[in-house]
């Protein structure tokens, strides 16, 4: 176990990543985008609320709006960044002809994988951590519980970890970074869009046969369990979203997908000598 | 150090190795020579645990490559034909990473890194980025990197590719030094003059087969100190030549073609002169007699002439 904690791959990967220009450029852009969202949501909430109701807007409403906007913007931006950091991790070693050096050292395939995984995830966690002050801002307005913040962060971390394992599997499978990254984006797109469409179709069909039902049961929501946004939708206790109450099922699905992708990636990495 | 018996390895559309066998002792520096696609890289990759064999047995330092790859990796250093290097790391960091990758513990770790820096001649440049090194220096750094854990065997696949003449000379000297220090080396190269200079033995490989075994010792370049090789072109009855050779103690035929013989004589150049006199006395017309024997390039041409064409 100690070998995985003091894994030289992690140090190497972090060292290399933090030397890149994007290591400071991305967090800067990321925070600018999130701050912009917060400002927009604040003005939209107060201005629109005033116009619609002709009264003062409740602080809790502003807090909830900002919180959900930041949480959803964050996951969407990080879903776009996850494949960039993970799906090129092994292919770059192949393209730079450095993979043979790793495979003929005493590093095992799981150690190489773990180093790549931790480095990719840590960078995304750095972005996530940098936005915590923005996520904590709604506490000043009210309407958001600390538990909501923990659930949102936990769900986002788990989803990103799964996306990173999928990215690493693509990276171990394909020879070139461009193919691995495109494949990983395709998978993210399937998980995000196709599951939503599948749910929409199944739900519409189900509603026809259950006209008086209040909301979709778990098995109808099942396609959404693999949607990276679903665990965050369970945070919304409003309108049709109140029926989305199975975050644990979604977490388990993402954990399962992550474990499967990790196992396949390590197996692939062990056999990647043939691709060199 | 290396024991390979009847090794076979096939790819989807081609055969990499077809029953190749090799035994390499711990005090040898062996060159691997053959045309492109002969199976040299496949052989070295199999030894380096990167490729699984289809059949046959491969043992390195007493460990079966397929059963105990970790022990094999711990005992060898492998330099691929196009070895990559982390350009965005400092030289010291690069060596530290691989020292950790080979699980070196302090104080051996620091000592190994210092030794590698000295060996590469980069002790005063440890904080420079690797990308600022020339190709020759990078190759020296890579060679030092694979020596960090003090392996007893080096597998070098085309290590001189792309190097300028001076860097090649330095590489040759370094390999000679390592061989003198007791490191066994298997080196694949197309630069025959380099191999001729440093190797104790040359193995010819073609179409995944060990040509040396397939065609007796005619292609072996190893020259015993007490033996002389003679090229002989002649005219006249073959029986008379055979009779003269049979009558000369210590002479035996390595290679035979129409009007040509490659003969190995036990003894020195004086014995070669005596042998020539014996042939003349037997009434054989000598067209060409060279007691130095063919160089490696000539032997390569003869061995792989059909591949070259």
ipTM higher than threshold 0.90: no
Chain B residues near residue A108 by CB distance under 8 angstroms: 70
A153 band by pLDDT with thresholds 50, 70 and 90: very high
d(CA B249, CA B251): 6
| Average pLDDT score, chain A | 88
Structure tokens at B20: 């190749």
Interface test with chain A among B11, B81, B97, by most A beta carbons within 10 Å:
B97
Give the pLDDT band of residue A246 (cuts 50, 70, 90): confident
Q: Choose, out of A12, A95, A103, the residue to mutate when testing the contact with B (most B CBs < 10 Å).
A: A12
Q: Report CB contact under 8 Å: B85, A107.
A: no
Q: Which of B78, B84, B100 sits opposite A104 (nearest CB)?
A: B78
pLDDT at A5 over 70: no
| pLDDT the model gives residue A143 | 81
Place of tokens 């070669």: B272
Q: Which of residues 88-147 of B touch A (CB under 8 A)?
A: 88-89, 93, 97-98, 100-103, 145
User: Which residue among A12, A15, A100 places its CB closest to the CB of B80?
Assistant: A100
Give how far B19 is from chain A: nearest CA, Å: 19
B41 touches chain A (CB under 8 A): no
Where do the H-state alpha helices sit in A131-246? Answer: 132-136, 138-141, 146-173, 177-189, 195-209, 218-221, 230-233
Helix (H, G, I), strand (E, B) or coil at A211: coil
pLDDT over threshold 90, residue A35: yes
Closest CA to B56 of B13, B28, B16: B16
Identify all chain B residues contacting A20, using CB atoms and an 8 Å cutoff: 88
More confident call, B11 vs B109: B109
Whether residue A256 is predicted with pLDDT greater than 80 in this model: the reply is: yes
B213 vs A89, B5, B23, CA distance in Å? 44, 12, 12
B274-300: average pLDDT:
78
Q: Report the range of poorest mean pLDDT among A26-35, A147-156, A211-220.
A: A211-220
Chain A contact for B189, CB < 8 A?
A: no
Q: With an 8 Å Cβ cutoff, are B102 and A105 in contact?
A: yes
Q: Which residue has the higher pLDDT, B192 or A39?
A: A39
What pLDDT score was predicted for residue B202? 87
Q: Which of B51, B70, B84 has the CB atom closest to A98's CB atom?
A: B84
Question: What is the pLDDT confidence band of residue B200, given thresholds at 50, 70 and 90?
Answer: confident
CB nearest to B82's CB, from A8, A97, A108: A97
Give me the percent of chain B exceeding a pLDDT of 90: 31
Say if B169 is an interface residue toward chain A (CB within 8 Å).
no
Q: What is the pLDDT of residues B61-98, one digit of tens each?
A: 889 998 999 999 999 999 998 888 999 999 999 999 99
Question: Does residue A90 sit at the B interface (CB-CB below 8 Å)?
Answer: no
Task: Name every chain B residue with its beta carbon within 8 A of the beta carbon of A102.
Answer: 101
Q: Which two tokens stand for residue A153?
A: 């962060």
**Closest Cα in chain B, distance from residue A105 (Å):** 6
Q: What is the pLDDT of residues A91-119, one digit of tens each?
A: 999 999 999 999 999 999 999 999 999 99
Contact A276 B80 (CB under 8 A): yes
* Distance between A96 CA and the closest CA of chain B, angstroms: 5
| Contact list, A107 vs chain B (CB under 8 Å) | 101
CB contact under 8 A, A16 and B88: yes
Q: Could you say which of 2.40.50.140, 3.40.50.720, 3.40.50.300, 3.40.630.70 is the CATH number of the domain covering B2-214? A: 3.40.50.300
Q: How far is B6 from chain A (nearest CA, A)?
A: 20
Residue ranges covered by each domain of chain B: 2-214, 221-308
Q: Residues B263, B248: contact at Cβ < 8 Å?
A: no
Inspect the interface and report whether the beta carbons of B101 and A98 lie closer than 8 Å. Answer: no
How confident is the model at residue A216, as a pLDDT?
A: 84
pLDDT band of A55, cuts 50, 70, 90: low
Confidence of residue A50 (pLDDT cuts 50, 70, 90): low
What is the predicted pLDDT for the residue at B295? Answer: 63
Q: What is the pLDDT of residues B148-180, one digit of tens each?
A: 999 999 999 988 887 888 888 888 888 888 998
Residues 6+ apart with CB under 8 A from B174: B119, B140, B143
Across the interface, do B102 and A106 touch by the CB < 8 Å criterion?
yes
Residue B213 has pLDDT above 50, yes or no: no
Average pLDDT over every residue of B173-199: 87
3-state SS record for chain B: CEEEEEEEEECCCCEEEEEEEEEECCCCEEEEECCCCCCHHHHHHHHCCCCCCCEEEEEECCEECCCCHHHHHHHEEEECCCCCCCCCCEHHHHHHHHHHHCCCCCCHHHHHHHHHHHHHCCHHHCCCEHHHCCHHHHHHHHHHHHCCCCCCEEEEECCCCCCCHHHHHHHHHHHHHHHHCCCEEEEECCCHHHHHHHCCEEEEEECCEEHHHHCHHHHCCCCCCCEEEEEEEEECCHHHHHHHHHHCCCEEEEEEECCEEEEEEECCHHHHHHHHHHHHHCCCEEEEEECCCCCHHHHHHHHHHHHHC
pLDDT tops 70 at residue A2: no
pLDDT given at position B214: 32
The residue range of the domain holding A217 is: 2-275
**Which CATH number applies to B221-308?**
3.30.70.1150
Spell out the SS3 assignment of B119-137.
HHCCHHHCCCEHHHCCHHH
Q: Does A243 score more than 90 pLDDT?
A: no
Question: What is the pLDDT, as a whole number, of residue B218?
Answer: 36
User: Where residue A12 falls among pLDDT bands split at 50, 70, 90?
Assistant: very high
Answer whether B145's CB lies under 8 Å from B94's CB. Answer: yes
Which of B48, B85, B103 comes nearest A104 by C-beta? B48
Mean pLDDT value across chain B: 84
- The answer on pLDDT for A269 being more than 80 is yes
pLDDT at B205 > cutoff 60? yes
Task: For B53, name the nearest residue in chain A, comparing CA atoms only.
Answer: A274
* Total domain count, chain A: 1
Q: Which of A11, A97, A108 sits opposite B84 (nearest CB)?
A: A97
Q: Please report residues of A whose CB lies closer than 8 A to that of B76.
A: 104
Rounded average pLDDT over B178-201: 86
For residues B289-308, one letter each, b for 16 or more C-beta atoms within 10 angstroms of the residue's C-beta and e for the rest, the string is bebebbebeebbebbbeeee
- What pLDDT digit, counting tens, does each position of B126-151 carry? 999 999 998 888 988 999 999 999 99
pLDDT at B225: 44
């Amino acid at each position: 176990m100690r070998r995985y904690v003091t894994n030289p791959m992690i140090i190497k990967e972090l060292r290399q990543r933090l030397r890149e220009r994007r290591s400071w450029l991305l967090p800067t852009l990321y925070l600018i985008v999130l701050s912009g969202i917060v400002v927009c949501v604040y003005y939209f909430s107060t201005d629109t609320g005033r116009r619609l109701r002709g009264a003062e807007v409740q602080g809790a409403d502003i807090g909830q709006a900002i919180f959900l906007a930041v949480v959803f913007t964050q996951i969407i931006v990080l879903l776009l960044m996850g494949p960039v950091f993970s799906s090129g991790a092994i292919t770059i070693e192949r393209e730079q002809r450095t993979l043979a050096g790793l495979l003929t050292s005493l590093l095992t395939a799981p150690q190489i994988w773990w180093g790549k995984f931790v480095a990719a995830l840590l960078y995304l966690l750095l972005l996530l951590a940098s936005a915590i002050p923005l996520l904590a801002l709604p506490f000043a307005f009210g309407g958001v519980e600390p538990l909501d913040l923990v659930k949102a962060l936990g769900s986002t971390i788990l989803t990103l970890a799964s996306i990173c394992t999928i990215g690493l599997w693509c990276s171990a499978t394909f020879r070139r970074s461009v193919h691995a990254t495109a494949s990983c984006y395709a998978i993210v797109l399937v998980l995000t869009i196709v599951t939503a469409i599948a749910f929409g179709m199944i739900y519409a069909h189900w509603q026809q046969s259950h006209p008086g039902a209040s909301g979709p049961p778990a098995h109808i929501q099942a396609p959404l369990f693999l949607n990276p946004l679903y665990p965050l939708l369970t945070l919304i206790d409003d309108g049709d979203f109140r029926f989305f109450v199975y975050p644990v099922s979604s977490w388990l699905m993402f954990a399962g997908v992550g474990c499967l992708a990790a196992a396949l990636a390590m197996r692939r990495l062990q056999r990647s000598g043939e691709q060199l | 150090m290396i024991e390979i018996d009847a090794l076979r390895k096939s790819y989807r559309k081609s055969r990499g190795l077809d029953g190749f066998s090799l035994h390499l002792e711990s005090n040898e520096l062996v060159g691997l020579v053959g045309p492109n696609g002969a199976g040299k890289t496949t052989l070295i990759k199999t030894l380096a645990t990167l490729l699984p064999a289809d059949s046959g047995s491969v043992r390195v330092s007493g460990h079966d490559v397929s059963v105990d790859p970790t022990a094999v990796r711990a005992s060898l250093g492998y330099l691929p034909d196009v070895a990559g290097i982390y350009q965005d790391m400092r030289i010291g960091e690069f060596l530290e990473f691989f020292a950790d990758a080979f699980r070196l513990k302090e104080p051996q770790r620091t000592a190994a890194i210092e030794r590698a820096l000295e060996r590469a001649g980069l002790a005063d440049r440890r904080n420079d980025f690797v990308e600022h090194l020339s190709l020759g220096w990078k190759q020296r750094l890579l060679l030092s990197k694979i020596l960090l854990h003090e392996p007893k065997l080096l597998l070098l696949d085309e290590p001189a590719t792309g190097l300028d003449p001076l860097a090649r000379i330095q590489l040759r000297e370094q390999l000679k030094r390592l061989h003198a220090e007791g490191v066994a080396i298997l080196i694949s190269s197309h630069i025959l003059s380099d191999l001729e200079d440093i190797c104790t033995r040359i193995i010819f490989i073609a179409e995944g087969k060990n040509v040396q075994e397939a065609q007796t010792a005619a292609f072996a370049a190893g020259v015993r100190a007490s033996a002389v090789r003679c090229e002989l072109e002649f005219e006249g009855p073959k029986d008379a030549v055979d009779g003269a050779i049979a009558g000369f103690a210590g002479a035996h035929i390595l290679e035979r073609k129409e009007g040509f013989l490659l003969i190995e004589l036990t003894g020195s150049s004086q014995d070669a002169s005596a042998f020539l006199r014996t042939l003349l006395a037997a009434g054989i017309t000598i067209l060409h007699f060279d007691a130095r024997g063919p160089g490696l390039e000539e032997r390569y041409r003869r061995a792989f002439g059909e591949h070259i064409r």
